[in-house]
Amino acid sequence: MSRGGRGGGRGGGRGGGNPAMAMMPFELMGDLGSGGLFNVQTDLFPEREIAYPRAPTTREKEQLAASKSYRQALKSSAFYLRPPPPPKDIERYSDRYKANLDKPPSLQIISSNTSFFPDELHSILDPKKKVKARKQTYDQSNALRDLDALTNEAENGTKAGDDDDEDEEKEGQGSGAEEEDYDDEEDLIDDNDYGQNYFDNGEGDDVDDDDEGGGDFY
């Protein structure tokens, strides 16, 4: 959409000028400064008429009261999480009058069904449940396991016995556990490492003379 087309399409007239400015010759426009062509108000807070809103009706006031009491109740409930208060430095006179900011009730007392929450959050609701370590579910179509099977077959011949299967399973589980540790490091150690393979720091370059007189000019 070409908004510029609209202004340019009107032809030779001066668009956007203020009404008092007739066809002023171009040379004299410099005296006006930017007040000639641009009619935009540049005040930070331009004058505006602000309408007064209607007074609140009784219904609106009561809705407001309901909303306010709800928010206050929520603030003192277990659901409003606050950062821990800063440690007290010195004892002050007003401390004895300070509103009791007792420790808000913890989330354990809210009644809720743990089936509504994922496993990792169960420990918050029910402190007896330990944090479940992330289960490593063993995927049947695990490509790694197939690879292990292939390598085992290659090494031990085509003996597809039960012993091999058991070994593979143990190896798979073991390697699965170790995999997590190695994952981070393996990302760093890579065959395609540009830095090691290609990057030339430029230390060994000879410094050429600026005067390259050998160029041929045709």
Q: How far is the CB of 132 from other proteins (least distance, A)?
A: 10
**Site track 161-190 with other proteins (rule: CB under 8 A), x = hit:** ---------------x--x-----------
Q: How far is the CB of 198 from other proteins (least distance, A)?
A: 31
- The torsion defined by the Cα of 168, 171, 172 and 174, in degrees rounded to 10, comes to 160
Given a contact cutoff of 8 angstroms between Cβ atoms, the answer to whether 168 and 152 are in contact is yes
Q: How far is the CB of 91 from other proteins (least distance, A)?
A: 16
In whole angstroms, give the CA distance from residue 29 to residue 19: 15
| Among 32, 138, 178, 193, interactor with other proteins by CB under 8 A | 138
Structure tokens at 41: 């108000």
In whole angstroms, give the CA distance from residue 66 to residue 64: 5
In whole angstroms, give the CA distance from residue 51 to residue 174: 73
Positions 30 through 89 that interact with other proteins (CB under 8 A): 51, 53, 56, 59-71, 73-75, 77, 79-83
Given a contact cutoff of 8 angstroms between Cβ atoms, the answer to whether 108 and 125 are in contact is yes
Comparison of 128 and 159: residue with beta carbon closer to other proteins: 128
Q: Which phi and psi (to 5°) does residue 108 adopt? A: -75, -20
In whole angstroms, give the CA distance from residue 156 to residue 153: 5
Check residue 134 for interaction with other proteins (CB under 8 A). Answer: yes
Check residue 146 for interaction with other proteins (CB under 8 A). Answer: no
DSSP string, 74-109: HHTSTTS--PPPPPP-S--GGGGGS---PPPPPGGG
Comparison of 179 and 193: residue with beta carbon closer to other proteins: 179
Check residue 5 for interaction with other proteins (CB under 8 A). Answer: yes
Binding positions for other proteins, rule: CB under 8 A: 1-3, 5-6, 8-9, 11, 19, 51, 53, 56, 59-71, 73-75, 77, 79-83, 94, 97-100, 107, 110-113, 115-121, 123-125, 134-139, 142, 176, 179
